[in-house]
Structure 1
């Protein structure tokens, strides 16, 4: 029935309930939000944590932008600004965690927005949030895939010296990786997919320990711990602005911690488990990131070489270890973390729960982006029929569909054999394939869109919280994760930080700005929102969020307390 039934049974027993009771209650909450039960609850909380952390991978993500943070103020900014970034993203995601506890749905932020917004504008606001969230996750998935390709080419270039990969060659590798990273999604039974996400988390933890130990051991005798407190800004910004830019840069390492929200319909007892996973993802990210930064800051010798390198993390490892072989080995392991597949028959999973096919990062991103795409396509408003006992019965035959994407009926289909939204997954892959062509034309344009993904995610996190400030938190139903008196503080902070971070994301990386370092994020954001607004003109008579039965929802959530 579920992925790892023994794990789920143990979780249910720890809460004093049978697994069947929890699943029945989960289904009642979902139907009260106007949704049919389509997906199997195949993720334990550990599997969901594996998915979220394998996407966030804070220390690994920061390795790709370490040089930029260092330019804002060397050691102090590189070490301390990510700590503030973790705190900022944690506060913003606390509001999301509470909403996920109140309204567990794969739709996530757009679903929350539709429920809490005023009737006169709820469809518009929910559509904007949903469309931006879909685009953000598609772009995030593309960024993970392209970095895997760049990492592979960087190692080849580093080892051969004369090899220079062209942009079209990187794109071909990117296409190959799209194909390879989709393979496990389609061939591994859904009941075993959480083994993949837990393995990805394990590989990341091993990689973190491996990189830190190897760099410190091989770099002994050359430590410069004084660099941690040595301030030197090469970006041209004053210390205050530089530190704020460092915080914004560090948000890349934590913003995607809300990924588990979009598999809420695949987790038993999501009202409890989704907030738990969000908190643990941020905590694990901070615990791994801070020691990694301190270690790397202590062994770095030439920051300009790192910043100007085709693959900054590889140059960093080379400086730390003093060995091309060791540096290449570490970078190859990082590439494996983005994608690693032992070509075993997927049916080995049926032989033993301890046989795992390691995957990392990108497959987890496909899962998240496909679920968000599917959710945005499947909203169904049911006609209701009152029964003799005054309860509500939903009539599938009387349902009408109003969805967020063109041809939504097609994209909302869930494959009956694999029990996953295959068509939504292929749509996500199609976007990434077409978007990748931009890399051939202009890497700057490609990267500018990727740079806005964090801002777009934070916008979707904040909109429903901003609505709650205006309309009041009393409208929320009973929920396990309740911010209580701190709720308004969290919401107000989230809105204020979004405004500040938006300004930061639009500033150039160095001052004064030139054509080479110009920041085009503002142009990209305006362009994306303009496209979404044009799409809304076509969708405005066709999009409608879910029909909520507040009585059943409140009763079900109260029962879960």
Structure 2
């Protein structure tokens, strides 16, 4: 796409020239906003707001994500903590992401948080602060994608272990299955045309809602007469932590179900009118997460028969479904459905089938997000060999090399699972904290720089923005402390939390990489006057 003459465009802008299609004077305002931030459009705007919502919600899948940590949260205080802590988590994460939404409204770019950081940071600290945020964000999304992929393999082996007495899968066998899942979930990214990829994300979202309804209805119907509503109100801590730490740990655990709602920020250059649509999608993702997660938690808490068995199971979600239905066949069917829905994919039976019925997957949505973040960061010379990774394939109109780099990281990172599942899981547990670090740093900078530096934008929090930024900073400090607590008290080698060690190690690696990148990394060259003129007119 040809570059836009911004100075000529600025002279042409007037309110009556702005049309419903986002054009002014015959020039696309979305591309003009991007050009005013120093970048040229390279990706098609092929996602509608509904497609972006499908991408974000299929990654978050709050009700299903919470199933993975339901048993741990229950151990912190029984039903009350298991039910109310994710609701508090949703509110907390929404407030943090509200500040991100405003920044995305002001500076829509696939770079997201590092892009915002570079723009608002003081001149002497722009490059280093943005580079640090960008590298942490890239690693966080790579690890998040790896986590969804490895749990596919674990789920497959868990089903086999559940059905076949004596079956035990080794770690290297799980890794081989993990590699297969990587290959399968990358398939639709390269097969489905980019202008129809949103059909996949929307279908994944609708099937997630269907799966939520299916699990709740089947478990409540088949568990009829075997409910335990007392589970909802009975406070029972088996973790060794008191009520205060227990609630804080429960809230932190619940953030796993909502932290990735900011995924759509990284496809801002593929959504028409992103200044309005990205904040809308973030808020709707959180809202949908609450309206699916909370009813699911209430229903499943009532059908729990033996929480200790769930916590000790190889695949806790399958044991939970078994206790809810009382049937191995029903529990297996539901677990297989959820595995296909969230972690794996349903292959189209023939490539001749129209792409309006695409492969259904949620992990592919994670590949999209992680590849866009990697591509955007490479565009600003954030990675070694950035010129190579920042290339956009002219036929597929996607950053193929950045996608393969993300996959390559996951392949190598998965080897850690063979060596030590504890080390592998420790890094995964740190991903949520890393995401919140990237969400908070640009907001913290705004507190010191002043919000007056922000240009005109559709989402303007006004003076309330200071309260949001202060809350985000304080919450990061507080959550950063209890995210490093062991899961049970007293701590042992088996339950020790290595989040602080992992985060320190990642930051040390970032510092080492910065030595090589400090003279090469460059952020957006923003033209404030033109950006203000475009945003104000549009």
- TM (normalized to structure 2)? 0.95
CA separation of 1:235 and 1:429: change in aligned 2, threshold 3 A: same
**One of 429, 435, 456 as aligned partner of 1:457:** 435
Which among 419, 444, 450 is matched to residue 466 of structure 1? 444
Residue in 1 that maps onto 2:527: 549
Q: Distance in 1 between matches of 2:360 and 2:462?
A: 39
What is the match of residue 335 of structure 1? 339
Q: Which residue of 1 aligns with 2:89?
A: 85
| 1:496 paired to 2:474 | yes
Per-residue CA deviation, residues 502-553 of structure 1 (Å, 9 max, x unaligned), is 0011000001101111111111011000001000011111111011111111
CA distance in 1 between counterparts of 2:265 and 2:353 reads: 30
1:283: Cα distance to partner? 0.2
Which of the numbers 18, 21, 25 marks the counterpart of 1:18?
21
Cα distance in 1, alignment partners of residues 136 and 378 from structure 2:
14
How far the C-alpha of 1:345 sits from its partner, in A, is 4.2
* 2:192 aligned residue: 188
> Match of 2:315?
311
CA contact (8 A) 2:184 2:345 kept: no
* 2:391/2:401 contact within 8 Å kept: yes
Contact 1:23–1:269 (CA under 8 A) maintained in structure 2: no
Q: Do residues 362 (structure 1) and 363 (structure 2) align?
A: yes
Q: Report the number of matched residues.
A: 520
Aligned to 2:46: 42
For residues 422-501 of structure 1, the aligned pairs below 5 Å read 422-501=400-479
Change (3 A) 1:346 1:470: farther
Unmatched segments (≥5 aa) in structure 1: 2-14, 380-402
Contact (CA 8 Å) 1:197, 1:360: kept in 2 or not? yes
CA-to-aligned-CA distance 1:379-402 (integer Å, 9 cap, x gap): 2xxxxxxxxxxxxxxxxxxxxxxx
Residues 98-137 of structure 1: pairs in structure 2 closer than 5 A: 98-137=102-141
SS at match of 1:349: coil
Which whole-Å CA distance do the structure 2 matches of 1:76 and 1:438 have between them?
A: 36
The CA distance in 2 between the partners of 1:343 and 1:497, in whole Å, is 44
**Conserved in 1, the CA contact under 8 Å of 2:142 and 2:406?**
yes
| Structure 1 residues 176 and 208, CA gap change in structure 2 (3 angstroms) | same
Tell me by how many angstroms 1:474 deviates: 0.2
Contact 1:344 1:357 in 2 (8 A): no
1:545 is paired with a residue of what secondary structure?
coil
Aligned to 1:242, what secondary structure does the other structure show? helix
Per the alignment, residue 249 of structure 1 pairs with 253
| Gapped regions of structure 2 (runs ≥ 5) | 2-17
**CA deviation digits over 1:408-460, x for unaligned, max 9?**
00000000000000000000000000000000000000000000000000000
Shift of 1:357: 1.4
Shift of 1:19: 5.6
Given the alignment of the two structures, is residue 530 of structure 1 paired with residue 533 of structure 2, yes or no?
no
Q: Secondary structure at the match of 2:428?
A: helix
Give CA deviations for 1:285-328 in whole Å, capped at 9, x if unaligned. Answer: 00000000000100001111000000000000111111000010
SS at match of 1:35: coil
Q: 1:188, 1:346 within 8 Å by CA — same for their partners in 2?
A: no
Deviation at 1:361, TM superposition (A): 1.4
Q: Determine the C-alpha separation between the residues in 2 that align with 1:121 and 1:544.
A: 12
Deviation at 1:358, TM superposition (A): 3.5
Match of 1:411 among 386, 389, 399: 389
The aligned counterpart of 1:66 is 70
- Pick one of 268, 271, 283 that aligns with 1:267: 271
Q: Distance in 1 between matches of 2:374 and 2:129?
A: 17
SS of residue matched to 2:346: coil
The 3-state SS of whatever aligns with 1:59 is: helix
CA distance in 1, matches of 2:39, 2:354: 31
SS in 1 for 2:116: helix
Distance 1:278 1:551 in 2: 28
Structure-2 change in CA distance of 1:447 and 1:272 (3 Å)? same
The answer to which of 40-49 and 222-231 deviates more is 222-231
Aligned-partner SS, 1:484: coil
Whole-angstrom distance in 1 between the partners of 2:23 and 2:122: 36
> For residues 188 and 161 of structure 1, what CA distance do their matches in structure 2 show?
40
Q: Does 1:158 align with 2:162?
A: yes
Tell me how far 1:348 sits from its aligned partner. Answer: 3.7
For the 8 Å contact 1:23–1:268, the answer to whether it is kept is: no
Equivalent residue of 2:520, what SS? coil
Residues 205-241 of structure 1, C-alpha deviations (whole Å, 9 max, x = no match): 0000000000000001011111101000000000011
Partner of 2:220: 216
Structure-1 separation of matches of 2:142 and 2:327: 37
1:33 aligned residue: 37
Deviation at 1:342, TM superposition (A): 2.8
d(CA) in 2 for partners of 1:100 and 1:375?
15
**In structure 2, what is the Cα distance between the partners aligned to 1:43 and 1:50?**
10
- Aligned equivalent of 2:378: 377
Please tell me the root mean square deviation across aligned C-alpha atoms, in Å: 1.3
Could you tell me whether the CA contact under 8 Å between 2:185 and 2:361 is conserved in 1?
no
Other-structure match for 1:383: none
- Partners of 2:375 and 2:352 lie apart in 1 by 27
Question: 2:354 aligns to what SS in structure 1?
Answer: helix
Partners of 2:139 and 2:84 in 1: how far apart?
A: 31
